[in-house]
A and B are shown apart, each in its own frame.
Chain A
Amino acid sequence: MAGKTLYEKIWEDHVVTAPNEEPTLLYIDLHLVHEVTSPQAFDGLRLNGRRVRRPDLTLATADHNVPTDPLSVPVMDPISKRQLEVLDENCAEFGITVFPRGHENQGIVHIIGPELGVTQPGMTIVCGDSHTSTHGAFGALAFGIGTSEVEHVLATQTLPQQRAKTMSVTVEGTPPAGVSAKDIVLGIVGRLGTGGGAGYVIEYRGEAIERLSMEGRMTVCNMSIEAGARAGLVAVDETTIDYLRGRPGVPEGDAFDEAAARWRSFVSDDDAVFDAEVTLDAAALVPFITWGTNPAQVVALSGVVPSPEGVEDADERNTITRALEYMDLTPGTPLRSIPIDVVFIGSCTNARIEDLRAAAEVARGASVKAGVRALVVPGSRRVKNQAEAEGLDRVFIAAGFEWREPGCSMCLGMNPDILTPGQRCASTSNRNFEGRQGRGGRTHLVSPVVAAASAIMGRFASPEEVNA
């Protein structure tokens, strides 16, 4: 009999019951909650007189619409203010730990779980947010759910689930210098397309993935959903264990060694069989940028805007034409000649300390181009404090970047950080959908170093150009 994949091991560990002809009831070890997808779920509980089964396995934070202004500035938007208050009220009523705006542990939900050490290998983790796949970097099965499912998990600590198919995405070899985790995942999404991972849980493997830091692995797993997969996984290794050691949610001393020994089992067996296998050659990866309105519309930063001409499939041709029109781009234009208005360094994809360090290295001693607005939004208060302890805030501020308070910010434009119609943005976030960062805004997804370089050059640029 073939061995088991990592996904199958976690799945089997969490089966509460698997009745005939009904979906498996899967136990959830950690439920992360934020203000946007939870109010209607809590309301549903109240309407039906239901309680939260395990408030002690539930953790809430304010992230999606917190302003990133200094904390002394109140929340101006009354609807956002109300939603943030409702989260606090619901958590108080149902006994859930919550990190409101200004709290020492507050931040983007997918940044704080790992940094607090509550995200651990072998767990099942859900959140009413599609980027929950981020936590898969720890060898945890983590996926996004809708509000009805949030209510379901609150009430039962379980979810009825159908088993997914498994896909291995192997990135062989080592990427060239200058290729970051973001470029790896943009390359993967470009290869799979927006629907290529639908129905699958992806396990990222291969030397290029093994060599990544935990921050880099989180960036890769984060964008699994951009290829249509609800979850992404990376096997546990010493990089995982070293990252977890000493974090608040992780046991200490002998208990840590015991936990680590168990965590090391969360890898796919050598003879495990995947339902689909995809292989990429790391040596062929380059710094990437999206040119269109879905995250699979990716080209090399050194390349040109593609043309719909010669594309055989009519549907695909229309999609390209529509995207070019929305993005106001002409086929054949070199990406590096396109001027930008805004730079956003932030989001659950790229707002961890390593991302800020990399961007700060590019910004050090340089100046943001006149007319460009450049924001740096740390992923959490802990990231912000760490960055300030390292002096990164001073590097950014000296270069003309705005250094802001933590939150989701311009990734999805629910707070006041939005693009105005027609503005073009180099963004380290995960989605370049029409209007995602503000109505009429044009988003190009890039890595933190490319975002920083673009801020300085006033056009899409690679870091080498900054010092040239």
Chain B
Amino acid sequence: MKPVRVLEGRAVPLERSDVDTDQIIPSDWLKRVERTGFGRGLFSEWRDDTTFVLNQPQYVGASILVAGPRFGTGSSREHAVWALMDYGFEAVIAPSFGDIFRNNSSKQGLVIVQLALEDVEGLMAAVKEDPSRLLVIDVERLSVEVPETGWRRTFVLDPMTQERLLEGWDDIGISLRREDEIARYEVTSRAHPLTDVFDASGHARHP
């Protein structure tokens, strides 16, 4: 994962609430076995509509998505994060997020910025007024700014997520440093091996 310190870019206002992960990336895109190329599937059912906000020329090339409450609810598909990032988004700003989506985002370096509803609405209005306005998200200082207007808000990230973003750390690498402790736990673990339940062909030993 690439380290993320300061993001600077234009924003797209997606004025919808409850944007679930089925909308972000519809299920026909989930059959792929690769990790790239999902950007073409982002909001694919909505993008057929020429008036959809992502199709409007003034928002082409924007790297920050500003959305309504409960963004990313529903299915656990990490493909939603891959699609947003493959399309070119580096951060999503919304009043609230689905828990699994938030987790998935932190693993990939998509920055999740949760602001109060009135702040998100204010930001949307500022972007609609002038879509060329730049936003600056500072992961170190945990702030969002519109330098042109002087608007500035702070947001919260748990310290681990923030550190991981800043350092570009891989979660698995971090946990594998704890391998001795994992092995120690396993000595008394009650998890029972499935090899006792199924034979090599997956037939139950005691049907």
Contacts and interface: CB of A to CB of B under 8 A. Distances in A.
A347 interface: no
B160 A148 contact: no
A138 to B, nearest CB: 14
A436 interface: yes
Given A27-B191, A252-B206, A146 B103 contact: yes
12 contacts: A23-B158, A57-B193, A117-B197, A123-B191, A130-B76, A145-B76, A152-B175, A156-B172, A156-B176, A228-B98, A228-B99, A249-B192
B20 interface: yes
A249 B69 CA distance: 42
B193 A160 contact: no
Interface of A: 16-17, 21-23, 25, 27, 29-30, 36-37, 39-40, 43, 48, 50, 53-54, 56-59, 64-65, 77, 79-80, 82-83, 86, 97-99, 103-105, 116-118, 122-123, 128-130, 144-149, 151-152, 155-158, 160, 162, 194-195, 198-199, 225, 228, 230, 248-249, 252, 293-294, 315, 318-319, 322, 412-414, 431, 433-436, 439
Given A17-B178, A431-B74, A435-B45, A148 B191 contact: no
A145 B76 CA distance: 6
Interface string B183-204: 0011001111111011000111
A65 to B, nearest CB: 6
Contact of B197 (A16, A155, A249): A249
Interface residues of B, number: 65
B10 to A, nearest CB: 24
A97 B98 contact: no
Nearest to B23: A434
B108 interface: yes
Given A57-B193, A147-B78, A434-B45, A64 B30 contact: yes
B90 interface: no
Contacts of A122: 190
Given A160-B174, A248-B205, A414-B30, 14 more contacts: A29-B189, A56-B194, A64-B30, A83-B33, A86-B33, A128-B78, A145-B76, A156-B182, A158-B178, A160-B175, A195-B70, A225-B100, A248-B204, A434-B23
Contact of B202 (A57, A98, A117): A98
Nearest to B70: A195
Interface of B: 16-18, 20, 22-23, 26-28, 30-35, 45, 68-70, 73-79, 81, 96, 98-100, 103-104, 107-108, 117, 158-160, 171-172, 174-176, 178-179, 181-182, 185-186, 189-195, 197-198, 202-207
Contacts of A194: 18, 70, 73
Nearest to A91: B202
Contacts of B205: 248
Contacts of A156: 172, 175-176, 178-179, 182
Contacts of B178: 16-17, 25, 156, 158
Contact of B185 (A27, A199, A318): A27
B31 A77 contact: yes
A249 B195 CA distance: 10
A146 B185 CA distance: 24
Contacts, number: 204
A37 B27 contact: no
A37 B78 contact: yes
Given A56-B195, A198-B96, A433-B20, A83 B206 contact: no
Contact of B68 (A16, A25, A86, A315): A315
B198 A414 contact: no
A97 B107 CA distance: 27
B27 A413 contact: yes
Given A30-B191, A43-B35, A195-B69, A103 B202 contact: yes
A64 B105 CA distance: 23
Contacts of A98: 202
Instruction: With a 10 A CB-CB cut-off, give which of B22, B103, B175 has the most chain A CB atoms.
Output: B175
Contacts of B117: 315
Given A16-B181, A195-B69, A433-B74, A21 B31 contact: no
Nearest to B104: A146
Nearest to B195: A56
Contacts of B17: 315, 318-319
A77 to B, nearest CB: 7
A118 B197 contact: yes
A109 B99 CA distance: 22
Nearest to B200: A97
Given A79-B32, A97-B198, A294-B18, A152 B73 contact: no
Contacts of A195: 69-70, 73, 96
Which of A117, A148, A252, A431 is the most central at the interface, judged by chain B CB atoms within 10 Å of its CB? A148
Given A40-B33, A128-B76, A160-B175, A319 B18 contact: yes
